[in-house]
Amino acid sequence: MHANIFEQIADGIKDHETFVVATVVGTTGSSPAKTSFRLMVKSDGTSHGTVGGGALENEVIKKAMTIMGQESSFIESFSLESDLHMACGGNVTVLLESFSPSVLHIFGAGHVCQALIRVVQNAGFTVIVYDDREEFRYIGEKFNVKFVHGDMATSASRIKGGKNAYALVTTYDHLHDEAVGMALVDKDLGFLGIIGSSRKSVKYRNNFLQAGVAKEKVDSIICPVGLPIGGSTPGEIAVSIASQLIAVRSGKISNFK
């Protein structure tokens, strides 16, 4: 059981999943749980491993779902008799730890992307880069990121959404920008930014609305992207975008346009 649960956790981290790990850290009296029993609870409510089964496990899963995606941890103690009406009569203490990676999907591997990678990696983002140009395959090895080669709009349609998924669209062509944005706009991302001028922003928004995208979804797009700190070099633009990403992630700003 232990080897399997550790494999599941490792796979969850590798796949950038959001999940909670519950670990039994103490027991007294009669209890189906034993110290070091572990349960991995995924964001869809499915689980792997065990903390003893029955009413205890059901309650632990409920507690895990309350912190899903919050990057927090806490210790909860359960009296099996008074809290859960179990005949065992013992007590169980469980540590719940939430794993919620911030994944930044960057579409377009040009100068801004490359300047941005290092900044956001140092801020705790996992980065995945997408581009349809063969000559940018080196990005993966150079920056220690996953590089996805192929049609960017198709790749965008396949990513998982959620508030811990962030996307920046900075391709080499505004038609690609629009196509990728269209593929992402309904995914309820924590951040969807498209590089472009105010004039392009109006055009993109009008085109999305005409395509039937709901207005609240269109309003959530950040374009132009980046905080207005001044500067026009790729490095300066990267700092402005990274600052905005961090501010959105920390809840300091939302839907900042």
Answer yes or no: are the C-beta atoms of 76 and 93 closer than 8 Å: yes
Q: What is the pLDDT at residue 240?
A: 97
Q: What is the pLDDT at residue 161?
A: 85
Tokens of 134: 């063969």
What's the rounded Cα separation, in Å, for the pair 217 and 174?
20
pLDDT digits (tens, 9 = 90+) for 11-69: 998 888 889 999 999 999 888 889 999 999 998 999 999 998 888 999 999 999 999 88
**CA angle in degrees (0–180, nearest 5) for 100-124-137:** 105
Q: What is the pLDDT at residue 32?
A: 86
pLDDT band at 1 (very low <50, low <70, confident <90, very high): very low
Answer yes or no: are the C-beta atoms of 189 and 207 closer than 8 Å: no
pLDDT band at 255 (very low <50, low <70, confident <90, very high): low
What's the rounded Cα separation, in Å, for the pair 66 and 69?
9
Domains of the chain in start order, with CATH, are 2-99 (no CATH), 102-249 (3.40.50.720)
Q: What is the pLDDT at residue 256?
A: 47
pLDDT band at 211 (very low <50, low <70, confident <90, very high): very high
Report which DSSP code applies to 240.
Answer: H
pLDDT band at 3 (very low <50, low <70, confident <90, very high): low
What's the rounded Cα separation, in Å, for the pair 178 and 185?
10
Residue 257 has pLDDT above 50, yes or no: no
Q: What is the pLDDT at residue 85?
A: 78
pLDDT, average across residues 149-175: 95
Q: What is the pLDDT at residue 146?
A: 94
Maximum Cα interatomic distance, the chain, rounded to a whole number of Å: 69
Measured in degrees and rounded to the nearest 5, phi and psi for residue 32 equal -75, -15
Q: What is the pLDDT at residue 2?
A: 55
Helices 174-184 and 198-210 pack at an angle, to 10 degrees, of 50
Residue 160 has pLDDT above 50, yes or no: yes
Q: What is the pLDDT at residue 224?
A: 95
pLDDT band at 7 (very low <50, low <70, confident <90, very high): very high
Tokens of 133: 């140009």
pLDDT digits (tens, 9 = 90+) for 71-117: 789 999 998 878 887 777 788 999 999 998 899 999 999 999 999 99
Report which DSSP code applies to 8.
Answer: H
